[in-house]
Amino acid sequence: MKKILLLLIVFSACKPSNKIGELVGVPKERPLENTYWVLVEVNGTTIVRNDTKLIFIQLDSKSKRVTGFAGCNQLSGDYVLDGRKLIFKTVTTRMYCEDEMKTEDDFIEAVNKINEYRIHEHQLSLMQGKNVLLKFQAELERKY
């Protein structure tokens, strides 16, 4: 009986936990607002990461404004958040950068179609209905 009790204690101690993450200030799931989200996928295509020009968005909970970088141009605007529903009203600067324009155009087009979001741990999916258009990874701090 003591062996069974000991095994139960050991196995219950081995269940997944986020205590270490909480202790060092990294929650299991990042919040949508006030998180620095770096783009990792557009319409199912993985984005090659360029640490000097990270495509990102950040939603400010106080002002209800979104800011970001689309690859060549700055992005800003308002957003409306209602439960899991999310709608962006954005504008961008309009410089031309030959190498980045295809990805930027796809990104901006997708942002304008978003009407829903989902977060799983440190990944944000922005969707149009059930179709995932954009995927982002949470970063601890803004690097660009």
Range of the domain at 105: 28-139
The DSSP H or E segment spanning 89 is strand 85-92
Average pLDDT score, the chain: 84
Q: Give residue 118's pLDDT.
A: 97
Euclidean distance between CA atoms 21 and 11, whole angstroms: 21
Q: What is the mean pLDDT of residues 53-58?
A: 93
In a domain, 17, yes or no: no
Q: Residue 74 domain-assigned?
A: yes
In a domain, 13, yes or no: no
Mean pLDDT of 64-70: 96
Query: Residue 135, SS3?
Result: strand
The pTM of the full predicted model, rounded to 2 decimals, is: 0.78
CATH assignment of the domain containing 50: 2.40.128.270
Predicted confidence (pLDDT) per residue in 79-118, tens digit: 999 999 999 999 999 898 888 899 999 999 999 999 999 9
The contacts found for 121-126 with CB under 8 angstroms, 24 or more apart, are 121/28, 121/29, 121/30, 122/29, 122/30, 123/40, 124/30, 124/32, 124/35, 124/37, 126/86
93, part of any domain: yes
Instruction: Count up the domains in the chain and report the number.
Output: 1
Q: Is residue 92 assigned to a domain? A: yes
Judge contact between 74 and 68, C-beta under 8 A.
Answer: yes
